[in-house]
A and B are shown apart, each in its own frame.
Chain A
């Protein structure tokens, strides 16, 4: 097959706009594939917590609602296929939930496939000394008992094989984000595993769309100047047989696809731009050439690739105590001074009552607290209002729970002008430490199967 492949992204993260998929296929029914990404670095640990309470809930349930929204499209003979990592820790349960929706809608013709093999938790638990931290070199051994998840970022192979096998919906656990796009390309164009330049191009295309509207003007420096920025279109890449692509978005949507918006996303979360490591190829961005073809269409060519490394990156998480954040608004003269004093006061009162926190933080939002001490716009004393944000972390749950009950009382025991307390007590949140490491590809058995 040599015609370009049209692939859109309909979810950049777990929590993205639920209407994106249905909007995309309504505007562009000729899309070949929708990709949906649900997994950030620590998303799987959140799923592990949910799964501990309900063994069938270890996946991104949001996707089930997305699929439900696509039922009318498929009943109307829609042909767009789907590749998603919504399977999380449990692609099988995700696939079964999808099957129920499709069968109830008499869409038995749609085949669902599962890609698995990414879960390497048992290996890390059994030989933690073999998996040092990729960033710090530290050994995992002291933390092994606290491991919650460990998943390898699989490549495009399993996805491509499932599509070649006739799958309409491919549900994966952890895969490298761009591989959601590379998989369909490999299946469609029949690339060999060693067609590194083409695979590099598709990797770039996948990287560009993996964060949804961040490729079409969302998150851009000049966001305020974008047309219709209330309804930015989700991105589409039209990938050619050589791996080059055109980035675009559905007609009539907001945002912009220009050299500026595309190149900002090209370097999003990139380390060395000459050595972008993906499981499918090692990619250089240094020869990329962007051409604005007008009408919200930018051509991206010139990706170069070479053989990938012989290991998969693994993202592991371990339990690391508890935290909570409390927020209140303080208005009036000396607002920032009062907020700081009130925040310090909560922590002092708790310490005097025997609470041990390993870390605390008082932030006065409005003063530049997001990058404390780095950038501000003048004297904090001029602010008539600030949001006080107090945070604590501890190894055990009790002191954190106690903290959550100390925020609202500031309304009566704190300075005059405290408001914004109606949202209830803060939640105690588990902390998950992040442990990036590597595993030899030969030790990981990636596979796919139909449901």
Chain B
């Protein structure tokens, strides 16, 4: 197993009580792996403890990216959430910690 961050970049942001996380393959081959293997269900179960609702996945092939929409993941969001991260600033970094069963060959030295 490797960490997702070894083959991907990410960026998260908020909309009300929902967040999106865009995940980018560090190489076209890494993106092809993500597209095949990183499902909406994977992301939903990974963030289950935050109370996330049904996750939607969009494929953005021209940017080597998957865009995940995570409803109800911010404990109320904006000014209401009591959490240290009320606006999902950390969700991208959190997802990149996910252990994934990708071939080590997808990790190139230049990408570390």
What is the CB-to-nearest-CB distance from B103 to chain A, in angstroms, rounded to a whole number?
21
Nearest-neighbor residue (CB-CB) of B96 within chain A: A221
- B33 on the interface (CB 8 Å rule)? no
What is the CB-to-nearest-CB distance from A350 to chain B, in angstroms, rounded to a whole number?
15
B16 and A219 contact, CB distance less than 8 A: no
Contacts A265-B11, A271-B69, A374-B94; A42 near B78 (Cβ below 8 A): yes
Q: In chain B between 74 and 90, which residues have their CB closer than 8 angstroms to a CB of chain A?
A: 77-80, 82-85, 90
A285 to B18, CA, bound (A): 21
- A320 on the interface (CB 8 Å rule)? yes
B58 and A288 contact, CB distance less than 8 A: no
A361 and B82 contact, CB distance less than 8 A: yes
From the candidates A273, A365, A436, name the one contacting B16 in the complex (CB within 8 A): A436
- A309 on the interface (CB 8 Å rule)? no
A41 and B78 contact, CB distance less than 8 A: yes
Nearest-neighbor residue (CB-CB) of B91 within chain A: A371
In the complex, how many residue pairs between chain A and chain B have their CB atoms under 8 Å apart? Answer: 128
A320 to B93, CA, bound (A): 31
What is the CB-to-nearest-CB distance from B108 to chain A, in angstroms, rounded to a whole number?
14
A365 to B9, CA, bound (A): 24
A45 and B92 contact, CB distance less than 8 A: no
A391 to B17, CA, bound (A): 18
- Bitwise interface map of B from 13 to 45 toward A, beta carbon under 8 Å scored 1, else 0: 111111010101000000000000000000000
Stretch at the interface among A106-114, A171-179, A426-434: A426-434
- Bitwise interface map of A from 200 to 229 toward B, beta carbon under 8 Å scored 1, else 0: 000000000000000000011110000000
- A373 on the interface (CB 8 Å rule)? yes
The secondary-structure label for the interface of chain B is mixed
B65 and A267 contact, CB distance less than 8 A: yes
Interface size on B, residues (CB 8 A): 43
B63 and A370 contact, CB distance less than 8 A: no
Contacts of A338 in B (CB 8 A): none
Q: In chain B between 47 and 99, which residues have their CB closer than 8 angstroms to a CB of chain A?
A: 47, 49-50, 58, 60-65, 67, 69, 71, 77-80, 82-85, 90-94, 96-98
A289 to B60, CA, bound (A): 11
B16 and A434 contact, CB distance less than 8 A: yes
B90 and A370 contact, CB distance less than 8 A: yes
- A123 on the interface (CB 8 Å rule)? no
Q: In chain A between 16 and 61, which residues have their CB closer than 8 angstroms to a CB of chain B?
A: 41-42, 45
What is the CB-to-nearest-CB distance from A300 to chain B, in angstroms, rounded to a whole number?
11
A270 and B82 contact, CB distance less than 8 A: no
Nearest-neighbor residue (CB-CB) of B80 within chain A: A431
A369 to B97, CA, bound (A): 14
A273 and B84 contact, CB distance less than 8 A: no
Q: 5 new A-B pairs (CB below 8 Å) besides A221-B93, A359-B82?
A: A264-B10, A285-B60, A369-B84, A371-B90, A393-B82
